[in-house]
Amino acid sequence: MKLEDRQEFFRRLQAIDPNPTTELEYQSTFELLIAVILSAQATDVSVNLATRRLYKKANTPKAILDLGEDGLKDYIKTIGLFNSKARNVIATCKILLEKHAGVVPSDRAELESLPGVGRKTANVILNTAFGQPTMAVDTHIFRVANRTGLALGKTPLIIERKLLKSIPQPFLLDAHHWLILHGRYTCKARTPNCPECIVRDLCRTGKQKGF
C-alpha cells in the first residue's frame, strides 16, 4: 500500500474513533495486566464478565494472592484455559510483590518474564498503559494487515515489524486499537463487511472485489 493510501487509511479510522482503546474493562495497570492475561484465546466480553466479579473482591497483587489458586478459579472458571491462567496469575502476583513492590513494570523484558505474559501481552500493556507505540498482533490485526495490504507476512512478528515501519508516525500510537476494532466489527474473518467498510477503496482485497 502506498504511503498516501496508508495515511488516508488511518485518517478515516481516526475520524470515526478519535480516541480508541481496549474493550477490556480496567481501572489500573494491574487490572489491565490480569485482564490481558485472561483474554488469551477468550473474548473480551467473557473476560469482562469474570473480572467485574473478581475485581470487586480482589484487584491488587496481594488480594489476588490471598485468594489462592483455587479461590481465583471460582471467579474465572467461565473463561477458557482457566486452570493454567489461574496458575499464571498467582505466579505473576508473587513476582510483582517480590521483585516490583506490587507495581507492573514498564520494561518489555520484565513484563515478558511474568508467567502468562508473552510478546503480544507485553505490547498491549506497553501501548495501552504506558503510551508506547507498540503493535500487539492478534488474530484480527494479522488478518487485517494481510487482507488490506498494509503489511504482508506469515507470522505475527513479521507483521508487527512491518506495521511499525509502514504506519505513518502520527497514527502509530493508536493504530493497534483501530486495527483490532476494524477486524472485530468490519473486516471479520468469515464474512467481511466490505460494502460498508470505510477503507474498502484503499484495501487490496476491496479493489479486487471492485470497490
Summarised one tens digit per residue, pLDDT across range 85-122 is 999 999 999 999 999 999 999 999 999 999 999 999 99
**Residue pLDDT, tens place only, 179-197:** 999 999 999 999 999 999 9
Predicted pLDDT at 41: 87
Same domain assignment for residues 138 and 120: no
**Residue pLDDT, tens place only, 131-166:** 999 999 999 999 999 999 999 999 999 999 999 999
Same domain assignment for residues 109 and 138: no
Residue ending a domain, choose from 76, 110, 128: 128
% of the chain exceeding 90 in pLDDT:
93
Nearest residue to 72 via CA among 30, 59, 25, 116: 59
CA distances from 124 to 32, 35, 50, 83, 132 (A): 9, 11, 20, 23, 9
Same domain assignment for residues 161 and 187: yes
Tell me the pLDDT band of 211, cut-offs 50, 70 and 90.
low
Predicted pLDDT at 186: 95
Distance CA 48, CA 88 (A): 18
Residue ending a domain, choose from 100, 128, 156: 128
Tell me the pLDDT band of 209, cut-offs 50, 70 and 90.
confident
Same domain assignment for residues 169 and 83: no
Same domain assignment for residues 90 and 151: no
CA atoms 161, 163, 166, 170: torsion sign? negative
Same domain assignment for residues 76 and 146: no
Number of neighbouring beta carbons within 10 Å of residue 26: 20
Same domain assignment for residues 139 and 124: no
Same domain assignment for residues 69 and 86: yes
Same domain assignment for residues 90 and 164: no
**What's the domain count of the chain?**
2
Residue ending a domain, choose from 128, 162, 190: 128
Is the backbone of residue 123 left (phi > 0), alpha (psi -120 to 50) or beta?
Answer: alpha
Nearest residue to 185 via CA among 193, 195, 177, 173: 193
CA atoms in the 13 A half-sphere facing the CB of 207 = 9
Distance CA 82, CA 76 (A): 6
Residue 211 identity (one-letter amino acid): F
Distance CA 199, CA 102 (A): 43
Catalytic residues: 120, 138
Residues 60 and 88: beta-carbon distance below 8 Å? no
Same domain assignment for residues 40 and 115: yes
Predicted pLDDT at 207: 77
Same domain assignment for residues 15 and 46: no
CATH of the domain at 149: 1.10.1670.10
Predicted pLDDT at 96: 97
Show the domain range for 185.
Answer: 3-20+134-208
Distance CA 80, CA 178 (A): 26
Same domain assignment for residues 101 and 182: no
CATH of the domain at 62: 1.10.340.30
